[in-house]
Amino acid sequence: MEQFLVFLQKSPLNMLLFGLALASGGMLIWPLVSRPFRRIHELGAFEAVQLINRRDALVLDIRDTGDYAAGHITQARHIPEAQLRDRMKELEKYRSRPIIVSCRSGSRASAVSGALRKQGFPEVFALRGGIAAWQQAGMPLEKN
């Protein structure tokens, strides 16, 4: 250990490289460490299928109408994100069921699932990676 400290002190470049190695390692580990502490729950494609099959979860697709028509998860309920606040009453009858929010890449679904939880929906999950991850997992899409 002493030899390592002496090595670091010999050149400022050594200290800089060591600091960069620590920082990049921390950035790689951070998502794994922080996942259990997130308030917004996420599901992968296979976990979502299990929730749909076992507990009759509702899939809420918040993409624009054109994206939804190009392909969506079977029996997904379509409410574009911009209309969600106005159409919240349509979701009231699904309050007792788990809700899986899907978007194109998963980024907007996290925000919407958090908003639904604030509205009192007990089980709301974001589809991790969105429809893109769903397709990448080889899951089918339905077209209108």
**Which strand (E) or helix (H) includes residue 127?**
strand 124-127
How far is residue 119 CA from its own chain's centroid?
19
Catalytic residue among 59, 84, 100, 103: 103
Tell me how far apart the alpha carbons of residues 92 and 87 are, in angstroms, rounded to a whole number: 10
Kindly state the tokens that stand for 80: 């574009």
Kindly state the tokens that stand for 117: 């939880």
Annotated catalytic residue 103? yes
**Which residues are bridge partners to 99 per DSSP?**
58, 124
Kindly state the tokens that stand for 20: 């960069």
The catalytic site residues sit at 103
